Amino acid sequence: MPQVQIRTASPEDEPVLLGLWSGLVAYHKTIEHVRPERWSGRHGSSHRRLLTHAWEHPDQEVILLAEIEGEAVGFVRVAVTESGPCRGRIETLFVAEDARGRGIGSAMLEAACTWCRAHEANEVCVEFIAPNSEARAFYESRGFQPLLITHMRRL
């Protein structure tokens, strides 16, 4: 089986990253029913802003791209911050549906944790939407524990 390669993404990877991100949005549309409008509409411009921020502030944030034989199969966006519950934060982690179950998410998570340690974080947090039981199982099986619970009410 071909090995996953993880590298730092660059602005030239934007089209590939946006394509993967649209897969994440499509997945969320199938599981999140509390705020379905969050997953409707166009996300390209907001995702582009997040990508640009990472490239402009490499001391605070990085996007790591997972590839198998040169084909992008996932990405993780990770940051360090002075605010929030943890200095290190997994902002987004996504593996393309047809590439799941091959250790790609684990490899990206380890690369993200390594990046956080290199940027003086001694802990890392992740947030995901409540109905994402796959994410919960993934992170808990890798030693993550619940820290905060966020409740939301429509106004």
- Is residue 6's pLDDT more than 80? yes
Among 8, 32, 44, 24, CA closest to 131: 32
* Residues shown for the chain: 155
pTM of the entire structure?
Answer: 0.86
Report residue 127 as tokens.
């947030």
Q: Write down the mean pLDDT value for the chain.
A: 87
pLDDT confidence of residue 47: 82
> Per-residue pLDDT averaged across 62-71, rounded?
95
- pLDDT-derived band of residue 7, with 50, 70 and 90 as boundaries? very high
- In this prediction, residue 79 carries a pLDDT of 96
Confidence (pLDDT) at 107: 96
> Is residue 4 classed as helix, strand or coil in its secondary structure?
strand
Distance (Å, whole) CA 100 – CA 56? 30
Taking residue 114's Cβ as centre, other Cβ atoms within 10 Å add up to 13
pLDDT greater than 90 at residue 140:
yes
Are 77 and 63 in contact, with CB atoms under 8 Å apart? yes
Q: What is the pLDDT of residues 73-113, one digit of tens each?
A: 999 999 999 887 889 999 999 999 899 899 999 999 999 99
Tokens of 143: 């030693």
In the chain, the N- to C-terminal Cα span, in Å, equals 50
Specify whether the CB–CB gap between 21 and 94 falls below 8 A: yes
Break the chain into its structural domains and give their ranges: 4-140
Return the CATH number of the domain spanning residue range 4-140: 3.40.630.30
pLDDT, tens digit (0-9, with 9 covering 90-100), for 33-62: 666 555 455 555 778 888 999 999 999 999
Range of weakest confidence among 107-111, 113-117, 150-154: 150-154
pLDDT over 90, % of the chain: 57
Q: Two tokens at 116?
A: 């956080």
Tokens found for residue 35: 């705020």
CA distance 129 to 137: 13
